[in-house]
Amino acid sequence: MSRTPRIPNLGGARAFILHRPHPTVQAIIRQLSAIGLETVDCWPELPPEALAADFVFFDADLGFDEQFPWKPGEAPMPLVALIGSEAPGRIEWALSHKADAQLLKPVGNAGVYSALLIARQSFEARKHLAGEIALLRQRVAERQTIVRAVAALSKGADDDRAYAQLRSLAMSWQISVEEAARRIVAMTEEEGGDDQSHRA
């Protein structure tokens, strides 16, 4: 049975707020402290420690790429965009950084908690998807290896049986079919090498 994921405990998490000194920063810090997070405000640059932050809030109005110690869209933590002017160019820039949630300025008495939860969830989902895509790409790239492994196992006879054998080997070695195919290809190449050395 799948249970809806529980609301995470945010106590002790660290949030960096990249925004020039402004009452908006105070409003965000107040809410973050009430929720139990540690906060660091900074401008115009994120300090090196920001790489270990759990959340980064950044100003979409005056922000620029060089403020971040990572390439646009590659932040290693959930980002929350602080949007004041809804100028399309600024929203486009915030999007290029793949903000996971946003807060509209001026920030009042609420909004930070839901932004944290939404940012965390969509960041995790994005990370999970990227991981899955990378895995699938890798498996697609291994098609040729599988063909070679099946050919090696069938020795020109029954391909279906050879494929079934490959699968059962993967199962007994407790690895993926692709990984098993790689091993078989490697073993075959070794054997081939050995054969040649015998001949020599």
Partner 1 sequence: MKQRIEIGILYSRSGSYQLVSDACRMGAIRAIADINADRRYGIELVPVERDPQSNADRYATLCEDIFRNSSARHVVGCVTSWSRKETIPVLEKAGGMLWYACPYEGFEANEHVVYMHACPNQHLVPLMAHVVPRFGANGFLLGSNYIWGWEMNRVARDLIADAGGKVLGERYLRIGETDVSRLIGEIRATRPNFILNNLIGTSSYAFLAAYHDLADEDPAFSPETCPVISCNLTEGELPAIGETGKGHLSVGPYFAPRPAAFASSFEASAYASVQVMADVLSRDPDAGPAEFSRAFAERRFSTRLGPIAIDAHSQHATLPVIIGRIADGVFEVVSREDEVAPDPYLSRYDPAKTFGSPRLRVVS
Return the number of the residue (4 or 174) whose C-beta is nearest partner 1: 4
Return the number of the residue (30 or 183) whose C-beta is nearest partner 1: 30
Cα 15 to Cα 32: distance, rounded to the nearest angstrom: 8
Return the number of the residue (30 or 98) whose C-beta is nearest partner 1: 30
What is the per-residue binding string for partner 1 in 6-45, x denoting contact by CB under 8 A? xx-xxxx-----------------xx-xxxxx--------
C-alpha distance across the termini of the chain, in Å: 62
Cα 30 to Cα 107: distance, rounded to the nearest angstrom: 11
Say which DSSP state 72 is in.
T
Mark the segment that binds partner 1 (CB under 8 A) among 58-66, 80-88, 102-110, 183-191.
Answer: 102-110
Q: Which of 52, 87, 104, 110 binds partner 1 (CB under 8 A)?
A: 110
Total residues contacting partner 1 by CB under 8 A comes to: 18
Amino acid (one-letter) located at 91: I
* Residue-wise burial string across 53-86, b where 16 or more C-beta atoms lie within 10 A, e elsewhere: bbbbbbbbbbbeeebbeeeeeebebbbbbbbbee
Q: For binding to partner 1 (CB under 8 A), which residues are involved?
A: 3, 6-7, 9-12, 30-31, 33-37, 108-110, 113
